[in-house]
Amino acid sequence: MDFGVVLQTDPPASLVVERMRQAEALGFTHGWTFDSCVLWQEPFVIYSQVLAATERLRVGPMVTNPSTRDWTVTASLFATLNDMFGPRTVCGIGRGDSAVRVTGGTPATLARLGEAMAVIKDLVEGREASPNGTPVRLPWVRDGRLPVWMGAYGPKALELAGRQADGFILQLADPYLTRWMVEHVRDAARRAGRDPAEVTVCVAAPAYVGDDLAHAREQCRWFGGMVGNHVADLVARYGDTGGAVPAALTDYIKDRHGYDYSHHGRAGNASAEFVPDEIVDRFCLLGEPAAHLERLAELREIGVDQFAIYAMHDAVDGTLGAYGEKIIPALR
């Protein structure tokens, strides 16, 4: 199992770069960031510094979207980084949440997301693509490579991920839901004539190492609020009965009333007060290292290839250090 760390690009950017450098030294293979240009600093600028400060770490957004940048701009950013530092980028992408909602937009359709993934990958890998119906190519790309990993929850999104994406990003660490969603992605890959093993599975969730579970829950409750934004979209599309989406995912948002993106992804987010302790415990990894090892072993058995830690709490360095010392060596 590989391990990644997910950071927000809060200033100073130098701290993001240093934590990514330390993560590589601790055994992490991937460095991810949020990508929301109003709430945080521009990640692609920071990626260049991270790549310069590391040797093997792969970097990318968790996740970007098809709406806030022209697809040719996104492709050129990835291709430029790969040309400068070797093929060490990964494109995590989804329909869009905070990046589009804070400016009054809405998430992209799955059709548009699928088209964007194809165009971005083709251009970065040196092939011709036709955004807006006009054939274009990045003429300076040589031997380009870009894995595209798609974030998904609902049945139609899981179908698209299995049919087209190189990887599947699931933003929660509940074993029951992970199994359900991984099976949907693999079934879609089979129907598309693909080998399901070719689709990398990445679970991303907060991890907090420590013995004070009540405090850890409060530090990570924000995550249930963030996931709740996507769940609310699913309920609006599929309803909360009928079995299209598991009740284990949808039931907890019944007391959700709006969401304030000014506190998005931050401990103490008042918009996440509706999230019960049970959801925090299911969606996140909390407690002493043994508890983390037990959950991660279960996720690995399900088929998870990478666990990426959302590091947005008051014990970032301690948790990353514990993973480097006690958890990563045991699972690699």
Encode pLDDT of 285-302 as tens digits.
999 999 999 999 999 999
Contact 182, 203 (CB under 8 A): no
CA atoms of 154 and 307, how far apart (whole Å): 20
Strand partners, 200: 167
Helices (H), 192-246: 213-220, 222-238
Q: Which residues contact 236 (CB under 8 A, 6 or more apart)?
A: none
User: Considering only 124-138, 191-205, 255-269, 286-300, which range has the smallest mean pLDDT?
Assistant: 255-269
pLDDT digits (tens, 9 = 90+) for 153-170: 999 999 999 999 999 999
Give the separation between CA 118 and CA 177, rounded to whole angstroms.
Answer: 28
Cβ atoms of 169 and 204 closer than 8 Å: yes
Backbone torsions φ then ψ of 288, nearest 5 degrees: -70, 160
- State the number of CA atoms in the 13 A half-sphere of 190 facing the CB: 6
> In the prediction, which pLDDT does 243 show?
77
Residues in the chain: 332
Which residues fall within 8 angstroms of residue 240, CB to CB, at 6 or more apart?
Answer: 247, 250, 251, 254
pLDDT at position 149 is: 99
Residue 239 has pLDDT above 90, yes or no: no
pLDDT-derived band at 241 (thresholds 50, 70, 90) equals low
Q: pLDDT tens digits for 21-71? A: 999 999 999 999 999 999 999 999 999 999 999 999 999 999 999 999 999
> What's the pLDDT score for residue 145?
98
- What is the structure's pLDDT at 260? 82
Distance between CA atoms of residues 24 and 201, nearest Å: 20
**Binning pLDDT at 50, 70 and 90, where does residue 236 land?**
confident
Mean pLDDT of 257-285: 91
Q: What is the DSSP string of 268-304?
A: T-GGGTT--HHHHHHHSEEESHHHHHHHHHHHHHHT-
At 255, the pLDDT band (50, 70, 90 cuts) reads confident
pLDDT of 242 above 80? no
The answer, yes or no, to whether residue 146 has pLDDT greater than 70, is: yes
Give the pLDDT confidence of 97-132 residue by residue, as tens digits. Answer: 999 999 999 999 999 999 999 999 999 999 999 999
pLDDT digits (tens, 9 = 90+) for 306-331: 999 999 999 999 999 999 999 999 99
Q: Is 198 exposed, middle or buried (0-12, 13-18, 19+ CB in 10 A)?
A: exposed
pLDDT at 240 over 80: no
Among candidate residues 218, 226, 212, 223, the one with its CA nearest the CA of residue 318: 212
Q: Looking at residue 262, what is its pLDDT?
A: 79
Picking from 125-134, 136-145, 193-202, 261-270, which range would have the lowest pLDDT averaged per residue?
261-270
By percentage, how much of the chain surpasses pLDDT 90?
Answer: 89
- The answer to whether 191 and 160 have CB atoms below 8 angstroms apart is no
Q: Is the pLDDT of residue 263 over 90?
A: no
* Amino acid present at 314: D
